[in-house]
Amino acid sequence: MSTTSGTKIDKSSLPDASGHFGQFGGIYVPETLVTALEDLSKEYEAAKRDPEFQAELAGYLKEFAGRPTGLYHAERLSEELGGAKIYFKREDLLHTGAHKINNAIGQALLAKRMGKKRVIAETGAGQHGVATATVCARFGLQCVVYMGAVDMERQKLNVFRMRLCGAEVRSVESGQKTLKDAVNEAMRDWVTNVRDTHYILGSALGAHPYPMMVRDFHKIIGEETRLQMMEKEGRLPDELVACVGGGSNAIGLFYDFLEDEDIRMVGVEAGGYGIEQGKHAARFEGGRLGVLQGSKTYILQNPDGQIELTHSVSAGLDYAAIGPEHAYYRDVGRIEFAYATDDDVMEAFKLLCRTEGIIPALESSHALAYVTKRAPQMSKEQIIVVSLSGRGDKDVNQVAQLLGADV
Ligand SMILES: *Cc1c(COP(=O)(O)O)cnc(C)c1O
């Protein structure tokens, strides 16, 4: 297809052999990790072509994770907003409560295939940590999860869930004591223990091959959506919407549709308290090109290249860099981006509980906040699909506190 800037989309050539999406992506890591990443690339390419690996992956996605997830017509929400017909892709119904299990299963099978007995991961809100601890329990792998001390305090329940599954959760006391610092510690561990350890990275971020590999493990979201939409409506949707932290649930939904040029795609970032330095995590609102944790992409940084503070009501979107593939498609005009503020997110969260009986994750509520504004501008004949990336059980305590409720 041709984009607004006239670039032809040929998704099959991305990333290129050096892991670049245009100028974005790449492999910006210490020398000690280069061999590990090359080995991982080779193993992943072999696994991708191996029907046995693919069959095993499909089996666990179905029987353990609960795929396919439903494509659900949100009838009451559509009526309330009075515009486009709204569908939800129900990733919230997966085992452990979010899309993250798709990638965790894929990478755990890869670790097994490589003969690695130890797995490490980083986590912010704890959803990726829980997914990783879960698959490690299932496949008998030793599991260490790095988590910022601040996040451990905010997400105690997820820390306990990880420990129940046998994972060791290591508190990270450096920097802001949140996700970025947890990634730093995980990379340090990997450098030291690379022989027997696989690093299960949790989003479409980091050095090649991670952005590509994580995308591939999630692209089933869009592939199922296409089939289900044809079954239900006999045609493809007009618009796709997903929240974007690193960008894995979004690229998972979008990827299969990138070459369908009539379908609009919108990623929704965290607007936090509003677009003011240090108060949000919307990388396309003031972010600049730079390198962070293995990849060249849009980053919230000051003129000296120091990473800026970020804020979002949802820990899962609270990160200073965006996945390189999103940076590319945004630059060529294929994926558009918007942001939602904490206040709008809370309204959307409450609206969904009330109209549909679904408690969404605060991350997913960013996509919903956009939809509450966008759907009324569209006609009743138009169809919009929202990635409901996770369920809100993990957020109920935080929401109660914000609403001043006594629980
Ligand atoms: C982690 C998380 C996200 C953000 O991660 P992406 O890689 O951008 O998808 C979004 N929604 C939920 C429910 C999450 O747990």
pLDDT in tens, 31-44: 999 999 999 999 99
Where residue 78 falls among pLDDT bands split at 50, 70, 90?
A: very high
Residue 6 has pLDDT above 80, yes or no: no
Annotated catalytic, 5? no
Taking Cα atoms as reference points, which of 296, 218, 161, 139 lies closest to residue 147? Answer: 161
Helices (H), 204-283: 210-218, 220-233, 248-254
Residue at token pair 């006391």? 173
pLDDT in tens, 368-407: 999 999 999 999 999 999 999 999 999 999 999 999 998 8
Q: Which of 182, 214, 246 is the last residue of a domain?
A: 214
Distance CA 148, CA 155 (A): 10
CATH for 234 = 3.40.50.1100
Going through 97-249 in order, the beta strands assigned E by DSSP cover 118-123, 142-148, 168-172, 197-199, 239-243
Annotated catalytic, 122? yes
* Same domain for 171 and 104: yes
Q: Greatest CA span in the chain, whole angstroms?
A: 57
Alpha-carbon dihedral sign for residues 257, 259, 262, 266: positive
Q: Ligand 1: which of 363, 370, 388, 395 to mutate, most ligand atoms within 8 Å of CB? A: 363
pLDDT in tens, 85-129: 999 999 999 999 999 999 999 999 999 999 999 999 999 989 999
Mean pLDDT of the chain: 96
For 198, the domain range is 29-62+100-214
Q: What is the number of domains present in the chain?
A: 2
Please report the pLDDT score of residue 407 as a whole number. Answer: 82
| Catalytic hit among 43, 91, 122, 269 | 122
Residue 346 has pLDDT above 60, yes or no: yes
Amino acid letter at 381? E
Measuring CA to CA, how many Å separate 73 from each of 8, 148, 231, 242?
33, 38, 13, 16
* Same domain for 226 and 195: no
Distance CA 313, CA 379 (A): 31
Is this model's pTM higher than 0.95 or not? yes
Region 210-216: what's the mean pLDDT?
98
Query: Which residues contact ligand 1 via a Cβ below 6 A?
Result: 98, 100, 127, 203-204, 243-250, 316-317, 361, 363-364, 389-390
Distance CA 201, CA 214 (A): 8
Domain assignment present for residue 105? The answer is yes
Domain assignment present for residue 14? The answer is no
pLDDT in tens, 125-176: 899 999 999 999 999 999 999 999 999 988 889 999 999 999 999 999 999 8
Nearest CA to ligand 1 atom 7: 248
* Same domain for 389 and 273: yes
* Same domain for 354 and 285: yes
Q: Which of 214, 243, 269 is the last residue of a domain?
A: 214
